[in-house]
A and B are shown apart, each in its own frame.
Chain A
Amino acid sequence: MTLSPRQRRSSSARRVRTTPHPALQEQPKTHTQEKEKGQDVLQNIQQLGQTNIPQQLSENGIHTITIIGQIEGHITLPPQNKTTKYEHIIPQLVAIEQNPKIQGLLVILNTVGGDVEAGLAIAEMIDTLTKPSVTLVLGGGHSIGVPIAVSSDYSFITETATMTIHPIRLTGLVIGVPQTYEYLDKMQDRVIKFVTSHSRITKEKFRQVMFCTNQLARDIGTVMVGKDAVDDGLIDEVGGLGQAIAKLQSLIKARESKGGSTDALDSDAP
C-alpha cells in the first residue's frame, strides 16, 4: 500500500467527530488469520519501525515498553515528531501491575525528552510498580528521559548511548518577574529531587553537570556518554540487552523466592 507523506504522519486527536464516518462504521477485523497478522506486522515495520512486542508476554513473563522520540504530554505534537503518548503508557503500567502473567518490566529508552509532567508521571509509575523493573538506555535518554531511566529497580546504559542533562526553560510569553524564575526553579527541583533520590548521584553533582558551561555549543549542560553516567552515579551499569534481561530475570527470581510474586499474592487472597 502506498501512502502519501501526510498519511504517514502520526498524531493525536485534535478534531474528533462524535459520529463514525460511514466508511468506518464497521468494526475492525479481528486479526485471527496468520496472513492478516503477517500483513499487520509488515505495516507496523513500515510505518513505525517496530513489531508487536507484547506477543512475547505469555512466554517469559517479561513485558517490554519502548519510550522513543518525544514524550508527548498535554500538548499534541505536530506529525514530524515520533512520540510516546503518556495517556497510553500510564494505563499500560496499570495493566502490568495487575496482570498475573507479567512478572517483570523492561523499559527501553531512546528519547530526546519531552513534556516534564508526562515524563515525571511515567517515572513515578515505574518507580511504584511492585514488580521488578529494569531500564535500558539505548542511543539517547535525554532531558526528561533521565528521571525515567533512573526510576526502575536497576538501570543500564549502552557504551555509546548518551544522556544530556541541561536546565529546564520556559517557552512562549515569559513575564519577567521573580516569580517566573521561582516557578522554573521549582520545576527543576522536582526533577532533581526525583533523580537524586533514585540514583547514586548527589544533588550538588547533578546541579554541577546541569549548569556546566563548557560542554555544549548551543546550550549549557552536560552530555554523559555510557560509562560517564555510571561513574557519576546516574546509571547503575554499562550493558546491553542481554545484561538487562538477565538482570530482570534475576530480580524476578529473587522476588519469587521471597514470595512476592503475583501468584503468591493470589494464593494468599481469601
Chain B
Amino acid sequence: MLWTVMPLEAVLDGSDSYEPEYFDVPWNDGGRLIVEKLNMDSARVVRLISGNANDYLDASIQPGTIIQYAPKNQASKQ
C-alpha cells in the first residue's frame, strides 16, 4: 500500500514495460549481489543478499553503486 504525495499515475508509470536483465554475482563468503549490467565492464548493484549484516554497511556495494569488472583473459587460463 503506497502512501505518498506523488500522484500514483506518475509513480507507477512504466511499470508494465520496464524489464531490465539482472545477474547474480557471488560476493564474499556465501553472499550474492544482484546486478544490472550496464556495459561490458560495469554493472549497477540492485540488491545485496548476505547473512552478514556488516556487508550492508559497505558503501561500495550499496544499491545503485556502479561496480567494475576485470576483463577475463582467456589465453592466460590455458
Q: Is the CB of A14 within 8 A of B19?
A: yes
Interface residue B15 (Cβ < 8 Å from any Cβ of A): yes
Q: Is the CB of A10 within 8 A of B56?
A: no
Q: Is the CB of B72 within 8 A of A26?
A: yes
When the two chains form the complex, which single residue of A57, A63, A85, A115 contacts B2, counting CB atoms closer than 8 Å?
A: A115
Residues of A within 8 A of B11 (CB): 70, 77-78, 81
Closest to B43 in A: A24
Contacts of B39-76 to chain A: CB distance below 8 A: 39-40, 42-44, 46-48, 50, 53-72
Q: Is the CB of B25 within 8 A of A28?
A: yes
Q: Is the CB of A171 within 8 A of B72?
A: no
Interface residue A21 (Cβ < 8 Å from any Cβ of B): yes
Q: Is the CB of A29 within 8 A of B70?
A: yes
Chain A nearest CB: distance from B6 CB in Å?
A: 5
Residues of B within 8 A of A75 (CB): 2
Chain B count of residues within 8 A CB distance of the other chain: 58
Complex Cα distance A188/B71, Å?
Answer: 52
Q: Is the CB of A98 within 8 A of B19?
A: no
Chain A nearest CB: distance from B27 CB in Å?
A: 8
Tally A-B pairs: CB < 8 A. Answer: 189
Complex Cα distance A113/B50, Å?
Answer: 27
The segment from A47-55, A224-232, A261-269 found at the interface with B is: A47-55
Complex Cα distance A169/B2, Å?
Answer: 8
Interface residue A131 (Cβ < 8 Å from any Cβ of B): no
Q: Is the CB of B36 within 8 A of A80?
A: no
The segment from A87-95, A149-157, A193-201, A237-245 found at the interface with B is: A87-95
Q: Is the CB of A20 within 8 A of B24?
A: yes
Tell me which of A13, A40, A98, A144 has the highest count of chain B C-beta atoms within 10 A of its own C-beta: A13
Residues of A within 8 A of B66 (CB): 40, 43-44, 47
Chain A nearest CB: distance from B25 CB in Å?
A: 6
Interface residue A168 (Cβ < 8 Å from any Cβ of B): yes
Complex Cα distance A133/B8, Å?
Answer: 32
Interface residue B30 (Cβ < 8 Å from any Cβ of A): no
Q: Is the CB of B20 within 8 A of A11?
A: yes
Chain B nearest CB: distance from A45 CB in Å?
A: 11
When the two chains form the complex, which single residue of A10, A57, A63, A116 contacts B63, counting CB atoms closer than 8 Å?
A: A10
Chain B nearest CB: distance from A105 CB in Å?
A: 12
Known A-B contacts A7-B38, A12-B46, A29-B68; A171 and B57 likewise in contact (beta carbons under 8 Å): no
The 3 closest A-B pairs by CB, nearest first: A113-B4, A52-B59, A95-B53
Other 6 A-B pairs with CB < 8 A, given A95-B57, A113-B2:
A14-B20, A24-B43, A40-B66, A98-B53, A112-B5, A114-B3
Instruction: List chain A positions with a Cβ less than 8 A from chain B.
Output: 1, 3, 6-7, 9-21, 23-29, 31, 36, 39-40, 43-44, 47-48, 52-55, 57, 63, 70, 75, 77-81, 85, 87-88, 91-92, 94-96, 98-99, 112-117, 119, 140, 142-144, 164, 166, 168-171, 187, 191, 219
